[in-house]
Amino acid sequence: MSVDNEIVNQSGNLPFSKILETRVSRRKVLSGSLALAASSFFAPSILASSAAQAATGSSKPLKSTLINFKPVAVADGSGPWPTISEDYQWHALLPWGEPLQPDGPMFSWPPTAANQQQQVGIGHDGMTFFPIQGASESEANSHGLLAINHEFGRNTHVLGKANPESKGDVLTSQYAHGVSIIEIMKEGETWQRVKSDKNRRIHVNTPVTFSGPVAGHPLLKTPAGNAPAGTVNNCANGQTPWGTYLTCEENFNGYFGATGEWKATSAQARYGFSDKGFKYGWEKFDPRFDLSNAAHFNEENRFGWIVEIDPNDPKSVPVKRTALGRIKHEGVALVVARSGHVVAYMGDDQRFDYIYKYVSAGDWQQMTKVGKSPLDEGRLYVAKFNDDGNGEWLELTIKNPVLAKHFNDQAEVLTYARLAADHLGATPMDRPEWTTVAPNGDVYCTLTNNSKRKDANVANPLAPNADGHIIKWRDSGNRLGTQFTWDIFLIAQDTHGTEHSFSDPDGIWADPDGRLFIQTDGGQKDGLNNQMLVADTTTGELRRLFTGVTGDEVTGITTTPDRRTLFINTQHPGNGDPAKTNFPAKPDGKTIPRDATIVITRKDGGIVGS
């Protein structure tokens, strides 16, 4: 989702601009060629990086041995239908409204609440393929559960009107959001949804529980005493080594509004709450989402978390893991450090917001053995990027006197993680979206764009940053340390007008061979639809594998264990307008377009991305 939201970070954390004014001439950035600007800005460690040089166009990319497919040409990448490399093929799976079970209610538009509750949601985003439990090696690649996030659906797309007119309309919208867990199987060359007791919807009214330091805290209790329920604006995702799914609540503020007199607290303002939200109108028929309803005071603190779901237990209650902090969680990349600790990297997608890291208190296997979740006890940090190519992880802890001055306990620090990070002097970034960890240990994060940046700095070198960039870093101490070194991997603007043209990087995934899959969400240059490219992290070479349909966003990425099947999503095709595209129906000018998963394979059955 690309939200043109206001700037809610008023902390004034702009630690680089002052330093940089003494170091480099800002005129070069504002007027010189981009290559010149980039080379004057980059720290020496960055200039030493061949990948950065290649990817930013300051020298010719080396030929990749990892990427061999024929790319989609700029001239072919537009229109109402997807385009894929001629070495690949695709088919659509699980469109919005598909019944969860083969005998469930068929899609008809607009859906009723009763039907939508038993159908795949809209706004397909992050997702994970879990091989079916107990599968043989070959079955693991042809049979599994797909967990899919349903980030958002505009009222005009879901309901066929701008405003809900009844509680039923609001329920339809709420049931369209959340997560689907669906069992899928490969039959011949095509993947299908199969009947299963695992097939399940989790939505805005599904019972949930809280765990970790904020669980049971007064900040999560409402005067009405209503039990916690629901997850919303489920953007990107992660998965744990113990086989569960993580769904990330991003623009949760947009679903709240006020029917009566209400004035935002400073904390509410910092999270972007307003009296109309994103105009879903839920507050008119559901008091939970009415910020002016005193009985539902604090309801908004129950959103903005990372939620853990056991895909294999359809009766399990989703758990909000509060130790990972409350931000506009884009996604989470979770890895196991050499020590056995789990380490999670997370972006907070708003202009001038931050990048976070979580480290579990101990070895994840030892923690789970004694009945503790590695996601309940640990340390949360926020990133500060220094101009010399080094950086620091600043811990969000009440033990820090700077934070103890502003907060009463750790639960408050975590619930208001953005405010705590402001006090620590974290580096405001150009909208941190997905993170991913490459096989060499580097962590990559997409910074999608920032049209409001006025002061460039080393980590965010364009002002304004219309088209985004990708930053990478490497942590010290086998990933547990608080120091890191960093680099710019790529500046999207440098690719315009070439066959590599792309902008607004969002979804990103590093495969185990050193390829980087990059997905876009934003107005592309050179007439292109949103797209997915594959980069070689060593040579910087970039090739376009896929382009979506008019008005969509390409997002979500997961593969079978053998990496012969790739699943991605087209979100909001045509922005819901049937005059733009009727996907996945063939163009007819009338059929409502539906978000869907796209299953991609190499025609020769090879590894995807090769």
User: Least distance from C-beta 252 to ligand FEO, angstroms?
Assistant: 11
| Nearest distance from C-beta of residue 248 to ligand FEO, angstroms | 8
Residue 217 to residue 412: CA distance in whole angstroms: 9
Contact range with Ca ion by CB under 5 A, out of 283-291, 464-472, 501-509, 587-595 = 501-509
Q: How many residues bind ligand FEO (CB under 6 A)?
A: 8
Comparison of 570 and 582: residue with beta carbon closer to Ca ion:
570
Q: How far is the CB of 433 from Ca ion (least distance, A)?
A: 5
Distance CA 582, CA 574 (A): 8
Minimum distance between the CB of residue 490 and Ca ion, rounded to whole angstroms? 17
Q: Scanning the structure block, which residue is given the tokens 């619930």?
A: 415
In this complex, which beta carbon is closest to ligand FEO, that of residue 217 or of residue 431? Answer: 431
Q: How far is the CB of 522 from Ca ion (least distance, A)?
A: 7
Tokens of 85: 């490399």
Among 14, 41, 120, 151, binds ligand FEO (CB under 6 A): 151
1 contributes a contact to ligand FEO by CB under 6 A? yes
Structure tokens given for 250: 């991003």
Q: Provide the 3-class DSSP secondary structure of residue 292.
A: coil
Choose from ligand FEO, Ca ion, none: what does 250 bind? Cβ within 5-8 Å by kind: ligand FEO
Q: Whose Cβ is closer to ligand FEO: residue 97's or residue 556's?
A: 556
Q: Which is nearer to ligand FEO, 330 or 392 (CB)?
A: 330
State both tokens at 566.
């790739």
Amino acid letter for position 327: I
Question: Measured from the CB of residue 330, what is the shortest distance to ligand FEO in angstroms?
Answer: 5
Residue placing its CB nearer to ligand FEO in the complex, 151 or 511: 151
433 near ligand FEO (CB under 6 A): yes
Do residues 242 and 262 lie in contact, with contact meaning Cβ atoms separated by under 8 Å?
A: no
Q: How far is the CB of 313 from Ca ion (least distance, A)?
A: 28
Among 1, 208, 355, 510, binds Ca ion (CB under 5 A): 1
Q: Considering the complex, what minimum distance in angstroms separates the CB of residue 502 from Ca ion?
A: 13
| List 300, 494, 521, 541, residue binding Ca ion (CB under 5 A) | 521
In whole angstroms, how close is the CB of 218 to ligand FEO at the nearest point?
30
User: What number of CA atoms fall less than 13 Å from residue 39's CA on the CB side?
Assistant: 11
**Which amino acid, residue 430?**
D
Terminal-to-terminal C-alpha distance of the chain: 29
The mark string for 222-251 relative to ligand FEO (x by CB under 6 A, - otherwise) is -------------x--------------x-
Closest approach of Ca ion to the CB of residue 224, in Å: 32
Residues 314-373 contacting ligand FEO, CB under 6 A:
330, 349
Please give, one letter per residue, the 3-state secondary structure of 338-363.
CCCEEEEEEEECCEEECEEEEEEEEE
Structure tokens at 545: 């594998």
Spatial distance between the Cα atoms of 48 and 53, rounded to a whole number of angstroms:
8
Interaction between residue 595 and Ca ion (CB under 5 A): no
Complex with ligand FEO: residue 243 or 523, whichever CB lies closer:
523
What strand order describes the sheet that includes 209-211? 209-211, 319-321, 306-309, 245-249, 234-239
Distance CA 110, CA 400 (A): 52
Counting contacts by CB under 5 A, is residue 506 touching Ca ion?
Answer: yes
If one asks whether residue 179 binds ligand FEO (CB under 6 A), the answer comes out as no
Please, which of residues 415-444 interact with Ca ion by CB under 5 A? Answer: 433
Cis peptide preceding 110, ω within 30 of 0: yes
3-class SS of residue 419: helix
Q: Taking a C-beta distance cutoff of 8 angstroms, is the pair 384, 425 a contact?
A: yes
Q: Which is nearer to ligand FEO, 1 or 592 (CB)?
A: 1
The residue (of 284 and 580) whose beta carbon lies closer to Ca ion is 580
Compute the least distance from the CB of residue 72 to ligand FEO, in Å: 23
- Going by C-alpha positions, the residue among 141, 126, 134, 358 that lies closest to residue 231 is 126
Q: Mark residues 10-49: x for contact with ligand FEO by CB under 6 A, - for none.
A: ----------------------------------------
Extract the tokens encoding 134.
């107990």
The region that residue 432 occupies, defined by phi over 0 for left and psi between -120 and 50 for alpha, beta otherwise, is: beta
CB 128 within 8 A of CB 237: yes
Nearer to ligand FEO, 20 or 127 (CB): 127
User: For residues 115 and 569, which CB has a smaller minimum distance to ligand FEO in the complex?
Assistant: 569
Cα 369 from Cα 353, distance rounded (Å): 36
Q: Alpha-carbon distance 342 to 580, whole Å?
A: 44
Q: Which stretch binds Ca ion (CB under 5 A): 1-9, 49-57, 363-371, 470-478?
A: 1-9
Among 385-393, 465-473, 519-527, 586-594, which window interacts with Ca ion (CB under 5 A)? 519-527
Q: Are 548 and 81 in contact (CB under 8 A)?
A: no
Q: Which is nearer to ligand FEO, 412 or 504 (CB)?
A: 504
Residues with Cβ < 8 Å from 18, sequence gap 6 or more?
Answer: none
What are the E-state strand segments in 16-94? Answer: 83-84, 88-93
- Rounded distance between C-alpha atoms, residue 27 and residue 30, angstroms: 5
List contacts with Ca ion (CB under 5 A). 1-2, 433, 506, 521
The site for ligand FEO (CB under 6 A) is made up of 1, 151, 235, 250, 330, 349, 433, 506
